[in-house]
Amino acid sequence: MTYIHAFGAHLPSRVVDNAEMASQLNCTAEWIESASGIRERRWAGEETVADLATAAARDCLSRAGVEASQLGMIIVSSGSAERRFPGPASTVAAVLGLNATPVLDLPIASAGAIFALSLASQLTSCYGDILVIAAEKMSTVIQGAPLDQNTAILFGDGAGAALVSARPGRMEVIDSVLHTDGANRDDLTLDWTGPLRMNGLTVILQVSRKLPAVILEVLQRAGIAPAAVKQFVMHQANQNLLMKVAKSLGVEPSLMFSNIAKYGNTSSASMLIAASEWEPTPGPVVFAGFGAGFNWGALVARVV
């Protein structure tokens, strides 16, 4: 058995509202909100991806009541890390004072948190307590090239974290499912020299089908009906997408946890940031994400 003991998050202090974005783009603040559900996002300034990740890690460890020295592994997801290698995970470990704890970097945008959470839930029997972190500095990405209205309005910076353990805790992981289909690998890409390229039509068309399908797949394996789920905590890509997934699943829109209005799409970090603000109630909860690759997956847990 594997349990999620706590979540954590870190958001940079600088708030960039839609009015500021609209002033740099050929659009209005109202259009940004209607197209995405986003009212503002955070930009990190001088903080690096590893800085964001470390701050989220500390928040999560504090909430879990666990010392960094107790960790058996750290997994860090980021699609916006500043260098090819080493990735931010080794920096996080060093700043936390660890000098022999294994770390993994997952350069998986958007879906990285669900991949890391699922993998960690399989590894706790070998490695003990695992700290999962997802950290993104998307402001560097969107400012690294002339601002593109279709992508610049969406993204923000931040980091989330989760402490996963074989020790019994409040949230038991029941099952998870991960998938990858490279057929559309060129429809959402970011080279080292930028800019971010997104074929929004293909991405939304694919995610609208694949995300509800993988949620139904993991729920079916667990023998849980969608209507029995207390909350869906998903990658915060776009408010309209969250509502579309709710409609496909036949569940109330209110079951889709959403904080995208405050933070925008923070890529792989968004699901864990959302989880850190969600107040668990007893019963099943589904975590899910979708992103470049395309990679997508879902995990079902039970709050006891």
Partner 1 sequence: MRDRLLKVLQKVTSQPLNIGDEDSLFESGLLDSFALPDLVNGLEQEFSIKVPDSDLNPRKFDSIARIEAYLSEHVQ
Q: Considering the complex, state which of residue 139 and residue 236 has its C-beta at the smaller distance from partner 1.
A: 236
Are 132 and 116 within 8 A, CB to CB? yes
Total site size for partner 1, rule CB under 8 A: 16
Handedness of CA 23, 24, 29, 31 (dihedral sign): positive
Q: CA dist 268 to 53, 116, 182, 252, Å?
A: 12, 10, 18, 25
Site for partner 1 contains 205 (CB under 8 A): yes
Least distance (Å) between residue 239 CB and partner 1: 11
Site for partner 1 contains 206 (CB under 8 A): yes
Site for partner 1 contains 241 (CB under 8 A): yes
Q: Considering the complex, state which of residue 121 and residue 238 has its C-beta at the smaller distance from partner 1.
A: 238
300: three-class secondary structure by DSSP: strand
- Residue of 99, 100, 182, 183 interacting with partner 1 (CB under 8 A): 183
Site for partner 1 contains 200 (CB under 8 A): yes
Site for partner 1 contains 181 (CB under 8 A): yes
Are 182 and 292 within 8 A, CB to CB? no
Stretch that binds partner 1, among 52-60, 139-147, 203-211, 271-279 (CB under 8 A): 203-211
Are 178 and 117 within 8 A, CB to CB? no
- Residue of 44, 55, 203, 229 interacting with partner 1 (CB under 8 A): 203
Rounded Cα–Cα distance for residues 285 and 170 (Å): 12
- Residue of 58, 63, 210, 302 interacting with partner 1 (CB under 8 A): 210
Site for partner 1 contains 30 (CB under 8 A): no
Rounded Cα–Cα distance for residues 127 and 192 (Å): 33
Least distance (Å) between residue 108 CB and partner 1: 20
Q: CA dist 96 to 70, 71, 158, 268, Å?
A: 11, 10, 19, 22
The residues binding partner 1 (CB under 8 A) are 181, 183, 199-206, 208-210, 240-241, 244
